[in-house]
Structure 1
């Protein structure tokens, strides 16, 4: 399905901040930026997973969060059309960038994409340690387009992780990622803790 809005410029022009969506950042003066550009109810669970990675690693954080009562998927703007000025400024200052995305599928899989081969290789090995299945991303989720926002960091090579619905639900003790479930930190699972630890470890030198 094609996006309703052709760019973030168009989305922000035709929607309302604080009613349809929220944007937040946390700046830690880190070389690494972790983002959830389709957060909140757009791709449920991605905000919380990205937030925890950032928190544990002391990494910078960017979140664009759908907060509509329904039809939040309309707020999805594909990564190579993501001309959002706050993120564009922030990511241009970072050496490394990783985006957490959500995709369909009840199998617990991480689809690995982006252009940072060194970090991607570490992630695959780290996920194997905790029994997480990884596969190369299909072409429509590959994250290798030069204009993909994740590749707009200093190195020109970022990481895009597409997490299936099944894997995201595993991050919550009740295996649900509705708003109440995902925003309750008491409901964050041991798996989510292990999973985010392995991502943080991939950036350790």
Structure 2
């Protein structure tokens, strides 16, 4: 599909690439130990010519309902390291937001705002990683800042999680203690191994500057899925085929997460 046709189709579906942003002057945060870029703004500026080639960002915002007791969209789903950076998180974010990952058609049930930053390189996508506490994309900040809760999808290795090799598990973190507890209950019911991420400080997601916690309640959730768990979610775990080959484990995880949000 040529780029013009693809952009026309994405616009028709309501999936709009975030507009260029002005680069703020002054000091920027230092990058994380393994990051090449100090923030999303830093990456956008230095790799501007490679947008839609090496990386992309996309989002969907729903109309706010200014009635009743919920004046703003309740939930924003995030994949800040999507595409080839932490494989599988883009597909999960799209599905948890209420859309089929293969064609992004809406399914049954509520639809949620979502924002994704994705690595598109054939290899070397880890270089595009910007730590969650340095995510300063204006659309991401707007979507999370107007939401009561977030679910931020991430990938980790079993070693990073402090687990046995090839462990299939999700670490449930963030500052939203109520949603954390509900997610863990739903994962238990679904038979998905889950761990309180507070036991693994590096993956706990408790920094107030983490984009997951930048809601108007100043709390959100972060889900860190091990490599093995993500592998089990796809028949073919490649960027081209993941969205077309989701498994029953993928469905169970998405359903459990969506039910926790409904709860």
The TM-score, its normalising length taken from structure 1, stands at 0.94
Q: Does 1:149 align with 2:183?
A: no
Q: Please say which of residues 32-41 and 12-21 is displaced more in the overlay.
A: 12-21
The answer to which structure has the higher strand fraction is: 1
Aligned residue in 1 for 2:249: 191
Aligned residue in 2 for 1:49: 92
Runs of 5+ in structure 1 lacking a partner? Answer: none
Following superposition, the deviation at residue 183 of structure 1 comes to 2.8
1:26 to 60, 64, 79: 60
Structure scoring higher RCO (CA < 8 A, sep ≥ 6) equals 1
Q: Does 1:37 align with 2:80?
A: yes
**Distance in 2 (alpha carbons) for counterparts of 1:70 and 1:198:** 32
* Aligned pairs (5 A) from 1:1-205: 2-15=34-47, 16-29=50-63, 30-55=73-98, 57-105=110-158, 106-137=166-197, 138-172=200-234, 174=235, 176-184=236-244, 187-205=245-263
Aligned residue in 1 for 2:19: none
Question: In angstroms, what is the RMSD of aligned CA positions?
Answer: 1.3
Runs of 5+ in structure 2 lacking a partner? Answer: 1-32, 64-72, 99-106, 159-165
Give the count of matched residue pairs. 201
**Distance in 2 (alpha carbons) for counterparts of 1:183 and 1:53:** 13
**Distance in 2 (alpha carbons) for counterparts of 1:111 and 1:198:** 14
**Structure ID, larger Rg:** 2
After TM superposition, where is structure 1 displaced by more than 2 Å over at least 4 residues in a row? Answer: none
Following superposition, the deviation at residue 28 of structure 1 comes to 2.4
